[in-house]
Amino acid sequence: MSAFALRHDWTREEIRAIHDTPALELVYRAATIHRAHHDPQEVQVCRLISIKTGGCPEDCGYCAQSAHYATGIAAQPLMGKEEVLAIARRAKANGVSRVCMGAAWRNARDDAQFEAVLDMVRSVNALGVEVCCTLGMLTETQARRLEEAGLYAYNHNLDTSREYYGQVTTTRAYDDRLATLANVRKTGVTLCAGGILGLGESVDDRVSLLHTLATLQPHPESVPVNILTRVPGTPLANQDDVSLWETLRVIATARIVMPRSAIRLSAGRTQLSEEAQALCFLAGANSIFSSDAKMMLTQASPTNDYDEDARLLATLGLRPRTPFKAEPGGPASGASLAVATLL
């Protein structure tokens, strides 16, 4: 089998062996695979808008928006469409090709607020950017309605391994998350699903999460790698730092086992130096979140701003990816076959 064939039958042992490869060899392998499947000069810039902040009934141990913890974030009403549109227009003007609307909900409900979100999806889609939502659990019918409204992607992170999940969240089960991913897969909406580093998980947990994602068929089109933003008041406020080398190993392993997916360097990027981010891009990260001020990614995570990101991309000779762009390369392409012999 070509080293570039998409695989969905990875074993944990194979993924662990990739993860544990000597660091520079691992980055080299990931960079080689990245070049076979993606334009290495392109990075997708995304903008997250928290359309409904705080007061969430779930108890995710990392989250500033959970009503279970005193984090100082009060529940706010659903943002109005005009405010969302104004942020989305500024985002597009700054090179953003995907706008992600997040709600601190356990699940979407069949109510007026969901209708309002559908209206936002239609309106933001009309601006000509990819629209993503992250609204908690979804039924198949809700996923279809979002698809009809023009939704491009749905984010629903697994966060960690099945084995460790109960240490992080107790108000829902891992299978609930997988059921929502399956409901979205019944539609034409693409999937964005990843995890968080720094929750106190072991390397085996990271491998297990990557195994779950890499054995989904098809792979999620987008895989966020979040680094925990420690939120005072939450149970995970005192976790240890995640080193760059740990982050790099997870990004590179994700790139190798899910070669066509966008690997999104998400929450926690502000903790990384420009040199560290450059290494992450080399190892296959090709998507970031950016914002028009030092605003909040999850109302707890500071986000890098458009200007500093534009400077960083320019320094590295990278350019923002345009919306709705199919990726070049793939198992059958000439580029893939040429580098397959290197591996």
Active-site residues, by number, are 56, 60, 63, 100, 132, 192, 264
Cβ closer to ligand SAM: 196 or 258?
Answer: 196
157 binds ligand SAM (CB under 6 A): yes
52 binds ligand SAM (CB under 6 A): no
Give residues 165-204 in contact with ligand SAM (rule: CB under 6 A).
196
Give residues 75-104 in contact with ligand SF4 (rule: CB under 6 A).
104
With contacts defined by CB under 6 A, name the span among 93-101, 210-218, 295-303, 310-318 that binds ligand SAM. Answer: 295-303
- According to DSSP, residue 79 is labeled P
Phi, psi of 251 (to 5 degrees): -60, -50
Q: How far apart are the C-alpha atoms of 31 and 252, rounded to whole Å?
A: 8
Beta-sheet strands, E only, within the chain: 42-52, 98-103, 130-134, 153-155, 190-192, 195-197, 222-227, 262-265, 285-289, 319-320
Does the N-terminal peptide bond of residue 77 adopt cis geometry, omega within 30 degrees of 0?
A: no
Secondary structure (3-state) at 87? helix
Binding mask 61-100 for ligand SAM (x = CB under 6 A): -xx-x-----------------------------------
Q: How far apart are the C-alpha atoms of 253 and 249, rounded to whole Å?
A: 6
Question: Which amino acid makes up residue 45?
Answer: V
With contacts defined by CB under 6 A, name the span among 101-109, 121-129, 160-168, 270-278 that binds ligand SAM. Answer: 101-109
CB of 180 to ligand SAM, least distance (A): 8
Instruction: Decide which of ligand SAM, ligand SF4, none touches 251; Cβ closer than 5 to 8 Å per partner kind.
Output: none
Q: How far apart are the C-alpha atoms of 51 and 135, rounded to whole Å?
A: 10
Tokens of 38: 């993606």
Beta bridge partners of 264: 224, 287
Tokens of 41: 């000069």
With contacts defined by CB under 6 A, name the span among 11-19, 62-70, 215-223, 235-243 that binds ligand SF4. Answer: 62-70
Contacts (Cβ under 8 Å, ≥6 apart) of 106: 56, 57, 58, 136, 137, 171, 172
- According to DSSP, residue 109 is labeled -
- Binding ligand SF4 (rule: CB under 6 A), the pick from 95, 136, 195, 320 is 136
336 binds ligand SF4 (CB under 6 A): no
Q: If we measure between CA atoms, which residue out of 291, 299, 255, 281 comes closest to residue 104?
A: 299
With contacts defined by CB under 6 A, name the span among 16-24, 39-47, 56-64, 200-208 that binds ligand SF4. Answer: 56-64
- Binding ligand SF4 (rule: CB under 6 A), the pick from 26, 29, 44, 58 is 58
Q: 96: burial class by Cβ within 10 Å (0-12, 13-18, 19+)? A: buried
- Binding ligand SAM (rule: CB under 6 A), the pick from 66, 97, 183, 229 is 229
CB of 166 to ligand SF4, least distance (A): 14
Residues that bind ligand SAM (CB under 6 A): 62-63, 65, 102, 104-105, 134, 136, 156-157, 159, 196, 226, 228-229, 231, 267, 298, 300-301
Residues that bind ligand SF4 (CB under 6 A): 56, 58, 60, 63, 65-66, 104, 106, 136
